[in-house]
Chains A and B, each alone.
Chain A
């Protein structure tokens, strides 16, 4: 239990860091850390499949894309970075406060699991889950990916043609 608590707190801090970090690079790294902690939590919650996905996609792939993208941008000057970070801190000072308040509120509300929980499903074959039980969601994801790719086409590819 305590380990879980520590992990959750770590995850929260890493996420806050990602938002409030000085530079984009640090933010990307912080995001990767967050994902890594989430992976550990997932392992502990006995869902190795999800954990593997999280680790490979969120921690690995996305971070790699972010870092490579950031490396293409022009780095800020030192003075700009300081100004940015101060500015950012001033703008997001309330985020930690909200975190604390929300935690306190949830704690004070004393939400207990006061319902009879159903039997957990037996661990099923992932292919069965994906294809037979959640087939519709798979199709939905396909559409989602399509929409996302149109977004990339619209927002990035054509700007080269326009030269804007």
Chain B
């Protein structure tokens, strides 16, 4: 296999993205679909490859290295699968939209960038592709409904600031290690090394959408085109964020489970789980509810990897894969509902299971999966994370379990409100989504079951090789060995079910199933404030910036006068003086020249 082949996963999607931009509406979907298929074929081809491509980078002294191995092949393959399914879905969903060429272009370029970032073995090259994804992210949100531009800016600012942190981290680790080649870096986390790790970690987890860098995701859920939610926060960003987190935790830095960074990651992880899922619980919109889960599930991955014990890491990575599967499926069902009923407001939905039985089935599978019901895939990854968390401390385990409870409760609410109950009048005529939309959902949902029942397959074939020697010969596939954990999980799920039945009885509808938690003393106050975005770091940041800018503005006026009035007037005075000297008389010009010549001659002859 020639090493140049590694350029293809970057060039092909990029070129076809540009092509899609200029294709007429009729053929855009076709172009995108072919490109995604080619990408998938390439990904399969590279899946077991172990190739390094090296090219000198003109004039700057370091090298452009692409490296395909176990882990990157896995990520690229997963991303390619999602890309082709979502593209297929989009060919229907975006058929009528004028901006679909932009959507396909951004999507394909994002794939190119993701492939580049995953393959890159040089931190600067990786950063280049990483930032490329930031640009397409901005574009994808901005083409949504009117007003999406503001959300796009919000996302851009938040992710951009975190990327800046990452850039600083890259510079720092490059400085400390003396090389920018990822596979050659091996740093301690003492002193500056710790700072470098934290900076890189911020970049990675913000891409994945963890708290406190999450606040654009719920906004984007409403503003951006829906397939964006399924592919970006649902799948690609998780894949690449967690991929990079794993790379820095396992390869670039020498970490052991008793270090403080492990503690930092676990705290971030568990806080993200609990806080985001409690926000999800009270949402009244299909897509917004899902978007909070997209944040919450990242918590499990960060928690799992943060434990730094093999069970946790495998759980985290497995959860990454599972989450991408069921979360994109959930978003796609949301899209199907939106397409058929025209709304995602839960108040207006209900009783859709009769009209859209396949969609409902897919939703049900994905929902039980995300809630962690055995034997679906979510259960197994969560069990592994629990196992790791328990090994590191009871408190993390409890947080994860609490998250699980709330997840189950909110999905019971969502399913009940959207698909069960009475059908509203507006939706009487709703019908099943077309086959191009159903197919991706069915495929993804079936993976929920396959990866659950045969969980040894992904764990042993895909994930365990990534850890290699750290496993010390253990095998984490199969049914969990620790029965206590299983019993606790099942108990929690049952509690959620009971809670739901209780809530439905109390409020009388599926939508109000969790109102008793929402309106509980203390909690209701916090929820109100959270809904008003008092806890949104972006909003807080904007307020601070506002105050600072007012102070700066008044200082600025003074300085401004110097620049705007004084300097300008002075410059124009000089200019006019010089201009009045140029009166067009060639005798004067001649005199200047001769005088100048005299001076030069005297100076040189001296």
Contacts and interface: CB of A to CB of B under 8 A. Distances in A.
Q: Do chains A and B touch in the complex (CB under 8 A)?
A: yes
Contacts of A91: 587
B40 to A, nearest CB: 67
A109 B594 contact: no
B587 A109 contact: no
A109 B601 CA distance: 11
A98 interface: yes
A162 to B, nearest CB: 27
Interface string B570-606: 0000000000000000010001001000100000010
Contacts of A105: 598
A107 to B, nearest CB: 14
A99 to B, nearest CB: 12
A98 B594 contact: yes
Interface in A45-95: 91, 94
Interface string A86-118: 000001001000100000010001000000000
A91 B590 CA distance: 13
Contacts of B587: 91
Contacts of B591: 94
A105 B605 CA distance: 12
A98 B605 CA distance: 19
Nearest to A111: B605
A112 to B, nearest CB: 13
Interface string B445-466: 0000000000000000000000
A109 B591 CA distance: 22
Interface residues of B, number: 5
B407 to A, nearest CB: 87
Interface string B547-591: 000000000000000000000000000000000000000010001
Contacts of B594: 98
A74 B594 CA distance: 35
A98 B598 CA distance: 11
Contacts, number: 5
Interface residues on A, range: under 10
Nearest to B594: A98
B278 to A, nearest CB: 87
Interface in A22-55: none
A101 to B, nearest CB: 9
Nearest to B605: A109
Contacts of B598: 105
Contacts of A94: 591
Contacts of A98: 594
Nearest to A92: B587
A160 B466 CA distance: 90
A8 B171 CA distance: 75
A91 B587 CA distance: 9
A114 to B, nearest CB: 12
A94 B587 CA distance: 10
Nearest to B598: A105
A105 B599 CA distance: 12
A91 B594 CA distance: 16
Contacts of B605: 109
B605 to A, nearest CB: 6
B500 to A, nearest CB: 96
Nearest to B587: A91
Nearest to A109: B605
Contacts of A109: 605
A98 B593 CA distance: 13
Nearest to A102: B598
A120 B441 CA distance: 99
Nearest to A94: B591
Interface in B290-342: none
A105 B598 CA distance: 10
Nearest to A91: B587
A39 B256 CA distance: 101
B210 to A, nearest CB: 75
B403 to A, nearest CB: 87
A98 B591 CA distance: 10
B358 to A, nearest CB: 84
A8 B510 CA distance: 117
Nearest to B591: A94
A109 B605 CA distance: 9
B601 to A, nearest CB: 8
A16 to B, nearest CB: 16
B578 to A, nearest CB: 23
Interface in A108-164: 109
Nearest to A98: B594
Nearest to B585: A91
A109 B598 CA distance: 12
B37 to A, nearest CB: 65
B238 to A, nearest CB: 73
Interface string B479-509: 0000000000000000000000000000000
Nearest to A106: B601
A90 to B, nearest CB: 11
A94 B598 CA distance: 15
B599 to A, nearest CB: 12
B337 to A, nearest CB: 79
A98 B597 CA distance: 13
A94 B594 CA distance: 12
A91 B588 CA distance: 11
A89 to B, nearest CB: 14
A94 B605 CA distance: 25
B103 to A, nearest CB: 60
B231 to A, nearest CB: 68
B603 to A, nearest CB: 13
A98 to B, nearest CB: 7
A94 B588 CA distance: 12
A109 B604 CA distance: 12
A105 B591 CA distance: 17
A111 to B, nearest CB: 8
B547 to A, nearest CB: 68
A65 B594 CA distance: 31
Nearest to A101: B598
B575 to A, nearest CB: 29
A155 to B, nearest CB: 19
A102 to B, nearest CB: 8
5 contacts: A91-B587, A94-B591, A98-B594, A105-B598, A109-B605
| 5 nearest A-B pairs in the assembled complex, by CB-CB distance | A109-B605, A91-B587, A98-B594, A105-B598, A94-B591
Interface of B: 587, 591, 594, 598, 605
